[in-house]
Structure 1
């Protein structure tokens, strides 16, 4: 039964219903046509758009939907180009990070090509540079709080009083990057709308939230001119 469920009754959920509904009727029709061709069922639930069917075919339809939604977000960002420059936000986040091993080997490749490479080679982790290692290690040590050891369900029975960084690897997953990049683009666009008087503030600073113990410690301890801070945007509480 488990094999039947994971192979033929697999399901995924697209939770960003708002942007899905903003897609044009032509794109919606293309998505429905592909789903029908692949014998994949689409249904709207209280959790989002549910995609159900054979696992590989569900993934195909899901990737098509994500691609179209990402293109929509990128198009929205281009419309606010001038204000983005004024706010110090990047103009183009549609490509993979230039420092990724995949980018250095293949250049500025498309998301589809990156996923093709990813699916062939499997999980790709790569050592960080010595400079990145030093910054990450310093950040870990600066935010380590020994008095928190043993607190909480995940830390039960732990008694150690120190921590040591043994290894640091970067996971280069194009699919996860696109999901992250899409959400970041939405926040960029929300920030532009807010400064244009067309929307609410993107988010409240953590230190202003009820019950907060202060600012995010990684943001407080990160090297302001370091490598880790190059792609962090405090304009909308972006932090490690």
Structure 2
């Protein structure tokens, strides 16, 4: 290889031979440091990292506090170029940003040494953060966790090294890492030997070349600042502005007081970003995102408490998408999407809570019992995956209905509806009432009750469905008008308090499989009409006269039907007849065992 030049810093053949020998003997990559503008590189057999230090007021790379103790290195100074070779595990290093990497083809099932060390040091939370955020991007950012001594971790998905491999792609990834750190105002970043090792087999010398070039380039190029004057921007336009900055590797800041957008980056990138943002501003949309809820500090059950609840926005506090006040972390990790629907895996604690609910409501003695359970003989259900569905459009109409029911309960003589186990037992509904409290309501953990109003008989119920219907339900909800006429209590949306019952509808009775899906849905049961007589209801009966079809305008209907066969009934059926009385919040994928 001929001489290599890094922005005016020459590396001769003799110097390059020294680097190659050191990399070969230590199985590592090497970083070059200029004595006048120091660039430090930490290296181990499979991990190395570097921090940059520069005099520029725009790019300052302060050394870590224990910099002096970390220089366990072989080094040589040739002219003005100093080379450090340091053996160190990157996960033990202290920096604002640490860089992790994994095989893009294998995804998060990668078996790489560096990836495994990060997951071990970062703990379960680290893996769950990454699993929820990663959607195939080259760089995904998570906050630090566990025993890692950093603020952020940049997880890099590296392509397979093969014939025709483009080193420009790796250059862009490294540049993206620098830019991401810049977004947080930090320039203290540590890299491992990206792709070097048994998994991806990137050549160490070429990786070192890329890291050397990009780090020195970053230090020497400097940045350009540009202010763009703007009026009030909609939430959607802000998202688009941030996305443009991310695409070109430019830091974007919105100054609300001065009504301007501040851009920071290399001159060429800033110029491209400014051009695209000008285009966005000229055709600014008026889309508005929902606000994040404020904490309700009033005593539950008081008029002030309910008033606060009615005034609040419908977005649940635990939603990750469609919230106002996006952080830079949200932006650079790809949270900004144009859709109003998002589905992703839940955190470990929520997963555990839903697994327990499935187990606690499973009745093995009833597997295979009844016409709908034909050809079932398993002993248990094992939950494999739980995904939360954030569908802004569906939840909006659901919450409008919920607020309507709340207003009616506050203004109506009937007041709030009774709980199922508090409804007086009488002739004709003994079987329904004898089972007492709704099983899911009794077994559910507090973690799942954060946004539930039990006073309205808002409950979680299971809803089994075939795999082919899942996408349509998550996108459009469950429409009772499109339901089957075979339902015992008419065409409605049916919920199950037992996972055993919901499992019966996961596939065809004559073609049973080992894997199934069911939703854990919110139901607004409100005032429940109890019955043991099958009837093809189109709406719940009248609350006042109990008739199926009541024309008296002063009368009000029940909100739902809870029924069970008078003889031979095994499960209670919970039915609502309006689309806006249910919301498919969690999708459970499980296996029969």
Which residue number corresponds to residue 85 of structure 1? 304
Measured after TM superposition, the shift of residue 156 of structure 1 is 2.0
| 2:441 paired with 1:219 | yes
Which residue number corresponds to residue 15 of structure 1? none
Task: Work out the number of aligned pairs and report it.
Answer: 143
- CA–CA distance in structure 2, aligned partners of residues 127 and 229 of structure 1: 18
CA deviations 1:30-64 (Å, max 9, x no partner) are: xxxxxxxxxxxxxxxxxxxxxxxxxxxxxxxxxxx
The two structures have a TM-score, normalised by structure 1, of 0.51
1:14-29 counterparts in 2 under 5 A? Answer: none
1:138-157 counterparts in 2 under 5 A? Answer: 138-157=356-375
1:131/1:158 Cα in 2 relative to 1: closer, same or farther (>3 Å)?
A: same
| 2:321 paired with 1:102 | yes
| 2:459 paired with 1:239 | yes
- CA–CA distance in structure 1, aligned partners of residues 302 and 324 of structure 2: 34
Which residue number corresponds to residue 206 of structure 1? 420
1:171-186 counterparts in 2 under 5 A? Answer: 171-186=389-404
Instruction: Report 1 or 2 for greater relative contact order, CA contacts < 8 Å, sequence distance ≥ 6.
Output: 1
Richer in strand (by share): 2
1:92/1:228 Cα in 2 relative to 1: closer, same or farther (>3 Å)?
A: farther
Richer in helix (by share): 1
1:152/1:177 Cα in 2 relative to 1: closer, same or farther (>3 Å)?
A: farther
Bigger mean CA deviation after superposition, 166-175 or 229-238:
229-238
Measured after TM superposition, the shift of residue 141 of structure 1 is 1.0
Secondary structure of the residue aligned to 1:166 is strand
CA deviations 1:72-118 (Å, max 9, x no partner) are: xxxxxxxxxx95435697243423223223135864xxxxxxxx932
**Contact 2:359–2:381 (8 Å) recurs in 1:** yes
Secondary structure of the residue aligned to 2:344 is strand
1:155/1:87 Cα in 2 relative to 1: closer, same or farther (>3 Å)?
A: same
- CA–CA distance in structure 2, aligned partners of residues 183 and 229 of structure 1: 18
Which residue number corresponds to residue 78 of structure 1? none
1:98/1:236 Cα in 2 relative to 1: closer, same or farther (>3 Å)?
A: closer
**Contact 1:89–1:233 (8 Å) recurs in 2:** no
RMSD between aligned residues? 3.0
Secondary structure of the residue aligned to 1:185 is helix
Which residue number corresponds to residue 191 of structure 1? 409
Which residue number corresponds to residue 339 of structure 2? 118
- CA–CA distance in structure 1, aligned partners of residues 392 and 373 of structure 2: 32
**Contact 2:310–2:403 (8 Å) recurs in 1:** no
- CA–CA distance in structure 2, aligned partners of residues 162 and 217 of structure 1: 17
| 2:228 paired with 1:228 | no
- CA–CA distance in structure 2, aligned partners of residues 89 and 136 of structure 1: 29
Which residue number corresponds to residue 48 of structure 1? none
The two structures have a TM-score, normalised by structure 2, of 0.22
Secondary structure of the residue aligned to 2:417 is coil
Measured after TM superposition, the shift of residue 134 of structure 1 is 1.1
Bigger mean CA deviation after superposition, 84-93 or 180-189:
84-93
Measured after TM superposition, the shift of residue 227 of structure 1 is 1.7
**Contact 1:142–1:221 (8 Å) recurs in 2:** yes
Which residue number corresponds to residue 160 of structure 1? 378
- CA–CA distance in structure 1, aligned partners of residues 350 and 417 of structure 2: 29
Secondary structure of the residue aligned to 1:180 is helix
- CA–CA distance in structure 2, aligned partners of residues 93 and 133 of structure 1: 27
Secondary structure of the residue aligned to 2:396 is helix
**Contact 2:410–2:416 (8 Å) recurs in 1:** no
Which residue number corresponds to residue 51 of structure 1? none
**Contact 1:126–1:171 (8 Å) recurs in 2:** yes
